[in-house]
Structure 1
Amino acid sequence: MDGGALPENITMVKSRCVRVSDICMNIEPVPFNRGFYSIDLTYTFRIEFMAYERACSSPVLLTGTAYASKNAILYGGESNTQTFFSSEEQLGDTNACCETVNLPTAAVQVVAPIALEARIGSVCGSDGTTPVRTVIMTLGLFSVVEVFRPVTILVPTYEYTIPAKECHTDTESPCAVFDKIRFPAEEFSPSALDTIPKEKCCGCNELTENDENSTLE
């Protein structure tokens, strides 16, 4: 809590706003697992509370800071090269044994935290023995941890030629386009009897083969 312990007259607290203000990251190679790296994350949360002396009373705005830690092991590959940029940046360094150390870059994406619970409790003070009244919160956080490094990609290139064909920008008139359309003569001529597909009838009007023969007689 900013300003020390929670006042004794506060009996209820509700979270008003929670945000991630900072993330401290430390990346180190994992021993005996080449290409894997351990990322230690420390989240810093800024929290605003609405504190009440009793139910339905006017709230008082309080602020505080909370911390949470997380560890992740990810594969980031290996690289024994040093890269120098014109912007005076540098990737990779040498250690005391003149070995090239080129660690990947870690990044964390987070969304707004979710306040799941806020209650009043006691924790040990700075001396380790005196209990201090404070707010204990349970937060839900979705995050994506990733490691990446620059890589070299070979892209094949091919010769190109300037097209010799000229593109005409002038468009034909609607009448010229219509003159190129074939006249649909079949649409104006009745279909022949033998080209009409026979349709089967169902119901009382359906004729059988015997009925057709008797009708022809």
Structure 2
Amino acid sequence: MADQCTDTLRCNPNDLRQAMSIHTRKITDSCRDKDCIEDLPVYLTAGSQRMLESSASTRVRCAELLSTYIDVEPVTFDRNHYCIDITFYYRVLADTIVGANRPATLCGLAVFTKRVVLCGEESCAHIYRSDLRTCTAEAITRNLANRPTAVVEALDPMVLSSRIREACECGGRDCPVQLPDWVKAMFDEDLVLQNDRRRLYVTLGQFSIVRLERDAQLIVPVMDYSIPTKECCDSAGCAEDPCELFSRIPFPAAQFTPRGCDCKTQVRCPQENNCCNK
């Protein structure tokens, strides 16, 4: 088989075999964001909340992005734009000291919601796939069949600060959050969503990229089919012929070249510690 061209900009047009139709996703619009999420309430598990009520000091150790929920709705005053509502679910781990005991680990959930408006272009086509059954709950409906797909890329957040506040200091501004069952199932205990005397708050830094995609059919030039060049092996350290390995080692001609032993610049042999003066 002919060698595959690694740089398409330098390929000879005469090497193009044919044109091929492919199906891919076109990015209609995208954006990046750096959110500083201040005083995000952490809903601790029942056991962690009991320790927090009597803790002397607490420090947030880390936060992990568990999952996101993405909802795409068209903007009523602009047919080409869509609102993307993104809900981030974080698992927060903290260290707390209760009495004279060793530090214990607190575990809880933090939720952050943001909205992004991007151009998704128009499409009259309704797209259905054979791997989705129309009678199931996860099947795509006719109302959503011509909407673009939202993709969110996000890193684990950075913990910037944390603090504990008494319930009376919150002023009732923290409404109980509604959590889906699949989020609750990620924790071993029930989460305390209300009626707590003390609550942990955390400030996070979140980096994210959001984009809208639409299915598209493109015609691309074909130079050759992509065939893997690496051979498969059944173990991490595949056995190799030692003679074959030795044959690929360059001959060390420099080590056979006689060198004078100058007192100012003494050259030492690789195998000996004394000067090469023989």
TM > 0.5: yes
Residue ranges of structure 2 left out of the alignment (5+ in a row):
1-43, 177-192, 223-278
**Cα shift readout 1:178-211 (whole Å, capped 9, x = no counterpart):** xxxxxxxxxxxxxxxxxxxxxxxxxxxxxxxxxx
CA distance in 1, matches of 2:175, 2:211: 35
Alignment of 1:45-124 (within 5 A): 45-53=90-98, 58-88=102-132, 94-95=142-143, 102-123=146-167, 124=172
Q: 1:101 to 1:87 in 2, by over 3 A?
A: closer
The gaps in structure 1 that reach 5 residues or longer are 158-217
Post-superposition shift, 1:15? 1.6
Q: Distance in 2 between matches of 1:77 and 1:126?
A: 36
Following the alignment from structure 1 to structure 2, what is the Cα–Cα distance between the partners of residues 108 and 11?
39
The 8 Å contact of residues 132 and 140 in structure 2, kept in 1 or not, is answered as no
How far apart are residue 131 of structure 1 and its match? 6.1
Match of 1:146 in 2: 211
Q: Equivalents in 1 of 2:107, 2:80: separation in Å?
A: 42
Q: Counterparts of 2:85 and 2:51 in 1: how far apart (Å)?
A: 31
**Cα distance between partner residues in 1 of 2:164 and 2:119:** 41
Say if 2:51 and 2:98, in contact at 8 Å, map to a contact too. no
Is this contact kept in 2: 1:93–1:102, CA < 8 A?
Answer: no
User: Matches of 1:26 and 1:122 in 2, distance apart?
Assistant: 34
Inter-partner Cα distance in structure 2 for 1:69 and 1:126: 14
What TM-score do you get using the length of structure 1 for normalisation? Answer: 0.60
Aligned counterparts of 2:133 and 2:218: Cα–Cα separation in 1:
21
Relative to the length of structure 2, the TM-score reads 0.48
Percent identity between matched residues is 28
- Report the structure number with the largest CA radius of gyration: 1
For the 8 Å contact 1:80–1:101, the answer to whether it is kept is no
Ranked by relative contact order (alpha carbons within 8 Å, sequence separation 6 or more), the top structure is 2
Q: CA deviation at 1:101?
A: 5.2
Q: Within 5 A, what are the aligned runs for 1:127-166?
A: 132-155=197-220
What code does the residue aligned with 2:93 have? E
The answer for the alignment partner of 2:88 in structure 1 is: 43
Is the CA contact (8 Å cut-off) linking 2:88 and 2:112 kept in structure 1?
yes
Secondary structure of the equivalent of 1:7?
Answer: helix
CA contact (8 A) 2:53 2:197 kept: no
Q: What residue number does 1:30 align with? A: 75
